[in-house]
Amino acid sequence: MYRFSFGPWNIHEGADPFGPAVRQSYDFQQKLAVYRELGFEGIQFHDDDIVPDIEKKSYAEIMKEAGAVRRGLDELGLVAEIVAPRLWESERTIDGAFTSNDAKERAYAIERSKQAVDIAREMGTNNFVLWLAREGTYIREAKNPVDSVNYIVDAMNQLLEYDSNIRILIEPKPNEPMDHAYIPTIGHTLALAYRTVDPKRVGGLIETAHCILAGLDPSDEMGYALSFDKLWSVHLNDQNGLKYDQDKSFGSDNLRRAFNQVRVLEENGYGKNGEFVGLDVKVMRTQPCDISYKHLENSKKMFLHLVDKVRTYDKEAERQFIAARDYEGLDLHVLEHLMGR
């Protein structure tokens, strides 16, 4: 029943902030071939994944290239899950996009986002993701937090009014690249949704590592969004503590935490309305080029193994432990199940 997606940036050259590329690049067509080979159907896109050098091209050129990519996906039986404007790499958004102190830069961010909405429409998806990467501060005195939140609401309202079919999926993250982000958690996301002109078209995309970076449990964050019917996508990965965003393979650092994420999705019908199980995982820098996509294969396998663990879990025994308030017994019950005992 589950459909899986990942973004083309998840197959990369091994470069990181501390060192250069260590592998040969795969071109876009080679990456597309891997999708079906690994059993993936959906593609997560930024606008400039679809149209490289997007800021150097006219609107007509952009839409022509997007149409060509869409036809290529159709031929391969692939679909675009999401489209997101890459607002954090432009020279005009170094002080933020929607929350820049410069009104001209805020206007640029909105126009770039509207263009990305048009690209999403051309790609056949109404899922429009906002990762508010630079919507925050390095020092608190640099921006007015009330004005900044209002700027974000205004930008989303303009996008919702621009296209009556799009759904905005906000992907919260507490930090990195900014020291402090204005929308750090799913609770902030949903509060923001209800300030817009059409709250029913604003929801969330939860990434495992982003929750952990906020000191929160991903399954609880997912459950919170599910209780509002606002969990519209997930990016599963793993994270070792409160450090930089590692995007490790799903379940590789904390198997029990991964189990609980799969459980909350499985038991609450996630995927029945077409939602994707998205992965956002980085390949280890040490991997040779010809096996530099095992992290995707392994993450998908781990998710499906844990689905089986959820479905075979003895919930009656769990109920009895809970009724007796024997949480030590419940603790061991979960661990033994994960160990196959």
- Determine whether 87 is exposed, middle or buried from the number of CB atoms within 10 Å of its CB (0-12, 13-18, 19+): buried
Task: Let me know: does 192 contact 169? Beta carbons within 8 Å.
Answer: no
Q: What φ, ψ does residue 143 adopt, rounded to 5°?
A: -140, 155
Peptide bond into 145 cis (omega under 30): no
The b-or-e profile of 71-84 (16+ CB within 10 A means b, else e) is eebeeeebbbbbbb
Q: Which of 156, 238, 164 is nearest to 203 (CA)?
A: 156
- The Cα–Cα gap between 118 and 63 comes to 8
CA 106 vs CA 35, 213, 251, 312: distances in Å: 36, 27, 39, 51
Rounded Cα distance, 52 and 68, in Å: 13
Coil, helix or strand at residue 277: strand
Residues annotated as catalytic are 46, 49
Report residue 254 as tokens.
Answer: 């904390």
Which residue is listed with tokens 């308030």?
Answer: 325
Q: Which of 240, 247, 341, 249 is nearest to 302 (CA)?
A: 249
What is the CA angle 330-333-335, rounded to 5?
115
Q: For residues 208 and 23, what is the distance between their CA atoms, to the nearest angstrom? A: 27
What Å distances lie between residue 339 and 255, 258, 263, 284, CA to CA?
10, 14, 16, 26
Q: Judge contact between 41 and 5, C-beta under 8 A.
A: yes
